[in-house]
Amino acid sequence: MKHKMVTILEYNVVFTKEKEGGYSVAVPDLPGCLSQGDTFEEAEKNIKEAMELYLEEADPELYHMTPEQSNQQFISRVQIQI
């Protein structure tokens, strides 16, 4: 029995809570890869599907950023006093 080789990729995604309700989601490292959902869980599921479809169709040489490069950046809150 042959086993299919699976590659796990990891990208940062940005969830934005919308005023009307639900969430919009963007993948900064995959330009144009966007989704949304009525709940956080639905938005997360939808963006995973969108990312899979995006990467199936994308030319690997045109990826905006590799998963390894993406893992080197993150979002954090920083407080400043003005």
Q: How many CB atoms lie within 10 A of CB 62?
A: 7
Q: From the first residue on, what is the mean pLDDT of each consecutive set of 10 residues in the chain (82 residues)?
A: 75 92 92 94 96 83 64 72 87
- For the chain, how big is the Rg over CA atoms in Å? 15
**Is residue 80 in some structural domain?**
no
Indicate the pTM of the whole model: 0.72
**Is residue 77 in some structural domain?**
no
Give the chain's domain count: 1
**H/E run at residue 45:** helix 40-57
**CATH number, residue 47:** 3.30.160
Q: What separation in angstroms does the CA of 7 have from each of 22, 35, 55, 67? A: 30, 22, 12, 11
**Is residue 71 in some structural domain?**
no
Instruction: Supply the range of the domain harboring residue 19.
Output: 14-65
